[in-house]
Amino acid sequence: MANSIFEKPGILKESSSGYTHVKIEEELMLTREIFVISPVDADTMSALFMQVLYLYREDPDKEITIYINSPGGEVQSGMAVVDLLGMIGTPVRTVCIGTAASMGAMLFLAGDKREMMPSSRLMIHDPSLSGGSFDGKKPAEIEAELERLKETQEMIGKMIAEKTGKSIEEVLKITARDTYFSPEEAIEFGLATGVVTKI
C-alpha cells in the first residue's frame, strides 16, 4: 500500500545490517535542526524541550536551528521552552517558514538570529481568555482570571519590547489587535533580523 501524503516522511538508510527506515526529523536532528509545525501545547513543547536539552548537552556552543510554522497555543507550555532557550546560552537561530502566530511568534522571538522565509508572516497579539466562559463564576473568580490575563499580557509585552527595542507602550498598541508582519515589516519593527535567501 502506498504511503499517505499525510504520513511523516522518511528515508531509507543503508547499514551493515541492511536498509532501515529513518524519520526525516530524526536525520535532521543530527544537523541540529528542529521543526515546530503544529499548535503549541504541552505535548509538542515537551518534545521540543527534550530536543533542545539533548542538543545543548551534546554541544552547548553549537547553533541550534528551529523552523516554525505554528498558529500558537498555550502560553505556559511555550514559555517553558522560551525560558530554557534563555538559560542554556546555546546560539539559537529561529526561522519562520509559514506563519508564526501568537505563541508561535514568541518562540520565534526566542532566537538570537530570527529569520523569515520570503513569503512567511508573523502575527502578534495580546493573550485572550480561554477555557470556558464566566458563567457561574463569582466576581472574585472573574477578577482573578482577568488579573492572570493581565500578567500574561505584561510578560509577553515585555519580551517583545526587549527583543525589538520598542517601549512597552508601543508594543501594547500593536498587540491590542491581531497584527501581521511581512518579513520586511518584521525586520523594520525589530521582530526579525533577516530574510532567508538560501538554505
Instruction: Report the C-alpha gap between 85 and 79 in whole angstroms.
Output: 10
Check the CA dihedral 185-188-193-199 and report its sign: positive
- Concerning whether 102 is annotated as a catalytic residue, the answer is yes
Domain ranges, ordered by start, for the chain: 25-195
Active-site residue, selected from the candidate residues 38, 102, 120, 128: 102
What confidence tens digit (pLDDT) does each residue in 64-95 have?
999 999 999 999 999 999 999 999 999 999 99
In contact, 94 and 110? CB cutoff 8 Å: yes
Higher pLDDT, 181 or 135: 181
Tell me the residue type at 10: G
In contact, 62 and 90? CB cutoff 8 Å: yes
Active-site residue, selected from the candidate residues 125, 128, 167, 182: 125
Confidence (pLDDT) at 103: 97
Q: Where does residue 48 rank: exposed (0-12), middle (13-18), buried (19+ CB within 10 A)?
A: buried
Residue 102 to residues 53, 148, 153, 185, Cα–Cα distance (Å): 24, 17, 12, 17
Say if residue 60's pLDDT is above 90.
yes
Confidence (pLDDT) at 14: 67
In the chain, the N- to C-terminal Cα span, in Å, equals 33
**Looking at domain 25-195, which of 1.50.10.10, 3.40.50.880, 3.90.226.10, 1.10.510.10 is its CATH number?**
3.90.226.10
Confidence (pLDDT) at 18: 72
Q: What is the chain's Cα-based Rg?
A: 19
Residue 129 to residues 62, 81, 126, Cα–Cα distance (Å): 38, 21, 10
- Concerning whether 125 is annotated as a catalytic residue, the answer is yes
Instruction: Report the C-alpha gap between 70 and 68 in whole angstroms.
Output: 6
Give the single-character DSSP code of 166. -
Half-sphere exposure of residue 77, counting CA atoms within 13 Å on the CB side? 17
Query: 114: part of which helix (H) or strand (E)?
Result: strand 113-116
DSSP 78-98: HHHHHHHHHHH---EEEEEEE
Quote the percentage of the chain above a pLDDT of 90.
73
Low-confidence winner among 16-30, 97-111, 145-159 (lowest mean pLDDT): 16-30
CB atoms closer than 10 angstroms to residue 102: 25
Instruction: Report the C-alpha gap between 114 and 119 in whole angstroms.
Output: 15
What confidence tens digit (pLDDT) does each residue in 150-195 have?
999 999 999 999 999 999 999 999 999 999 999 999 999 999 999 9
